[in-house]
Amino acid sequence: MVSVTVLGSSGGIGQPLSLLLKLDPHVSSLRLYDLKLSHGNATDLSHIDTNSTSEGFNTAEIGQALKGAQLVIIPAGIPRKPGMSRDDLFKINAKIIKSLTVQIAEHAPDARILVISNPVNSLVPIVYETLQSMGKFQAGKVMGITTLDIIRSHTFLVDIIGRKAYSVEKLKDAVTVVGGHSGETIIPIFTDQKFYRRLRDSNVYESYVHRVQFGGDEVVKAKDGSGSATLSMAWAGYTFAKKLLNSLHLNTAGDQHPIPTFVYLPGLPGGKELQKKLNTSVEFFSAPVKLEKGIVVAVEHEWVDKLNDDEKKLIAKCLPILEKNIKKGLAFSKQTKL
């Protein structure tokens, strides 16, 4: 059984994510941390008849919230508002993530860390640099959650193909997403080329790619300025966490179906090979990975050989943007003292 801590548990993502984790059979202890409402939400969840316990912690209790945690999930930070890009979030959320990372390094140095907070492209490098400077970085244990892009790629594909022809479940092996987690760094790649050809033949490929890349804007607009993607993001975060929990709980290779996540390539088997195939020095990239015991043990790179011409162009466009996002995070982390 696994001890899980959620940092930022009272927000629009944190609350539904905490509910999903309370229902997971592999979670034994669920600890909720936030500036407010964490005690109340933990009490609320504690009434649910599952085996896990739930406990809330406030600002002064973060050490207790983290002590012994095997998995730390971070949805902390401010949400995106109308007219606000992920880059606009950076100055505020970067300070929050750096501060929380210091606490993780001190109280749960061996925990697996899942970063949901945006902008992922810049915040994961901050987690890396902060842990590295403290001598606590473990490449296989730091992951940026890009799963919502993957979920959208499935949903939006079935919207085009038609739910009578294919279920979403059947299309999950047809397409995935690599690159980063904002705008043009989000690259849908087709693992089943017949669906790519179908979109191309129907002249909807470009609109499909654009919708996957900017699906978050669709939600912000639909909510009339009252919020961003929270419920679907909570589901996406849990979808990845569940794979990690299965792997960790079973203490085996677990689910061998690779799932993309945003990781530090040079520190992982297969990472340098991926950099070479992409002809890039970019050190962080979301690519399919294998999990064992809740840790990334390999980065897949064979998929690069199967890219079609459109996908190659999208990746070429993605890389310089991604590199800029990464450098921004690293520079902030190095210059900021807490």
Q: What percent of the chain has pLDDT over 90?
A: 87
Residue boundaries of the structural domains of the chain: 2-144, 146-338
Nearest CA to 262 out of 289, 244, 238 is that of 289
pLDDT band at 254 (very low <50, low <70, confident <90, very high): very low
**Interval 70-99: pLDDT, tens:** 999 999 998 766 676 767 778 899 999 999
Q: What is the mean pLDDT of residues 157-170?
A: 90
pLDDT digits (tens, 9 = 90+) for 290-302: 999 999 999 999 9
Distance CA 170, CA 77 (A): 35
pLDDT, tens only, 198-236: 999 999 999 999 999 999 999 989 998 788 899 999 999
Among residues 79, 82, 14, 2, the alpha carbon closest in space to that of 45 is found at 14
C-alpha span between 171 and 190 (Å, rounded): 10
CA distance 285 to 295: 17
Fold of 146-338: L-2-Hydroxyisocaproate Dehydrogenase; Chain A, domain 2 (3.90.110)
> What residues form the annotated binding site for NAD(+)?
8-14, 34, 93, 116-118, 233
| Pairing status of strand 112-115 against strand 142-144 | parallel
Give the residue-averaged pLDDT of 140-168: 95
- Higher pLDDT pick, 139 / 336: 139
For 306-332, how does the pLDDT look when each residue is reduced to its tens digit (9 = 90+)? 999 999 999 999 999 999 999 999 999
* pTM recorded for the entire structure: 0.95
Locus of tokens 């980065």: 299
For the annotated binding site, the residues are 8-14, 34, 80, 86, 93, 116-118, 152, 233
**Residue 68, phi-psi category: left (phi > 0), alpha (psi -120 to 50), beta (remainder):** left
Structure tokens at 201: 């033949």
Active-site annotation, residues: 181
Closest among 328, 323, 333, 325 to 121, alpha carbons compared? 325
Q: How confident is the model at residue 251 (pLDDT cuts 50, 70, 90)?
A: low
Report the CATH number of the 2-144 domain.
3.40.50.720
312: Cβ contacts below 8 Å, ≥ 6 apart: none
